[in-house]
């Protein structure tokens, strides 16, 4: 994988349902994986920064896992609420501080 | 007050005009970045700076230039704007862990 790829591009979730989506990244020269939450008309805000294989991070109903050997990360939303509607961006950080962003997964939670 | 500010927030300009986007930060970070966002493409890095007078090209630097004359300020210039530079532009800062703090964005339209 040469680029950072996120799938799906968008998804609709019924309120109360749980969901997850994927970020794939180059496993070579890997340093850290970032997740950002971007609400419409606002700026992206950091959710998690993960560095170690097997890392799991949690913030409220949102959690993320990291597999650096195979180059993927999952983001989970448990019991989705309308306020979870946003675009979720992942970014791979190689050595140095440059981030390479994926195209994002746009999540729409329907009441 | 916001930690990262951008001016202007919206700008419409004509092809061939020179335009400058300004970014200021109060976080005391050394590292600053300029990204552009196009629908479906996530955030792409234009230029970044790790210190005053330090300038580095990102993945899409052609047609842009930057200036970092002070720690708190990082400006992006389009010397001769063209329509495919119509996009949403974000400035960001980071500390040593590369976690990005984004400004509110500048929506630029080149007609």
Mean pLDDT of all residues in B36-65? 92
Question: In this predicted structure, what is the pLDDT of residue A16?
Answer: 97
Question: In this predicted structure, what is the pLDDT of residue B98?
Answer: 85
Residues of A in contact with B90 (CB under 8 A): 43-44
Question: In this predicted structure, what is the pLDDT of residue A60?
Answer: 95
Return the residue of B nearest to A94 by Cα.
Answer: B98
Going by pLDDT thresholds of 50, 70 and 90, the confidence category of residue A1 is very low
Mean pLDDT of all residues in B23-46? 92
What is the per-residue pLDDT across A39-76, written as a single tens digit (0 to 9) for each? 988 999 999 999 999 999 999 999 999 999 999 999 99
**B106-110 and B10-13: which strand pairing?**
parallel
Return the residue of B nearest to A34 by Cα.
Answer: B99
Mean pLDDT of all residues in B68-78? 96
Q: Does pLDDT of B63 surpass 90?
A: yes
A 55-84 residues with CB < 8 A to B? none
Cα dist from A44 to B5, B42, B104, B105, B111, whole Å: 14, 11, 9, 10, 27
Question: In this predicted structure, what is the pLDDT of residue A28?
Answer: 84
Going by pLDDT thresholds of 50, 70 and 90, the confidence category of residue B56 is very high
A17 or B95, which is more confident? A17
Residues of A in contact with B100 (CB under 8 A): 34, 36, 44, 46, 91, 99
SS (H, E, C) A21-86: EEEECCCCCEEEEEEEEECCCCCCEEEEEECCCCCEEEECCEEEEEECCCCEEEEEECCCCHHHCE
> Given A6, A43, A100, which is nearest B90 (Cβ)?
A43
Q: In the beta sheet, which residues pair with residue B34? A: B47, B91
What is the per-residue pLDDT across B75-92, written as a single tens digit (0 to 9) for each? 999 999 999 999 999 999
CA distance B13 to chain A (A): 21
What tokens does B4 get?
């990262």
Cβ–Cβ of B98/A97 closer than 8 Å? yes
Say which residues have a Cβ less than 8 Å from residue B39's Cβ, sequence separation at least 6.
Answer: none
**A105-110 and A10-14: which strand pairing?**
parallel
Mean pLDDT of all residues in B37-46? 88
Question: In this predicted structure, what is the pLDDT of residue A36?
Answer: 97
Return the residue of B nearest to A42 by Cα.
Answer: B104
Question: In this predicted structure, what is the pLDDT of residue B90?
Answer: 97
Q: Does pLDDT of A2 surpass 90?
A: no
Mean pLDDT of all residues in A86-94? 94
């Amino acid at each position: 994988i040469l680029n950072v790829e996120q799938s799906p591009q968008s998804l609709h979730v019924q309120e109360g349902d749980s969901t997850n989506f994927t970020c794939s990244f180059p496993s070579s020269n890997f340093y850290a994986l970032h997740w950002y939450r971007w609400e419409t008309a606002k700026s992206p805000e950091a959710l998690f920064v993960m560095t170690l294989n097997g890392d799991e991070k949690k913030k409220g109903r949102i959690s993320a896992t990291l597999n650096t050997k195979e180059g993927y990360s999952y983001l989970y939303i448990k019991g989705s609420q309308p306020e979870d509607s946003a675009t979720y961006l992942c970014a791979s950080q190689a050595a140095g501080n440059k981030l390479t962003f994926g195209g994002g997964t746009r999540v729409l939670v329907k009441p | 007050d916001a930690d990262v500010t951008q001016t202007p927030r919206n700008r419409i300009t004509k092809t061939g005009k020179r335009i400058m986007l300004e970014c200021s930060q109060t976080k005391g970070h050394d590292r600053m970045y300029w990204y552009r966002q196009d629908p479906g493409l996530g955030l792409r890095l234009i230029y970044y700076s790790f210190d005053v007078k330090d300038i580095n090209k990102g993945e899409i630097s052609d047609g842009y230039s930057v200036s970092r004359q002070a720690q708190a300020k990082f400006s992006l210039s389009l010397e001769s704007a063209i329509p495919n530079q119509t996009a949403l532009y974000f400035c960001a800062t980071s500390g040593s862990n590369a976690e990005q703090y984004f400004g509110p964005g500048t929506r630029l339209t080149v007609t």
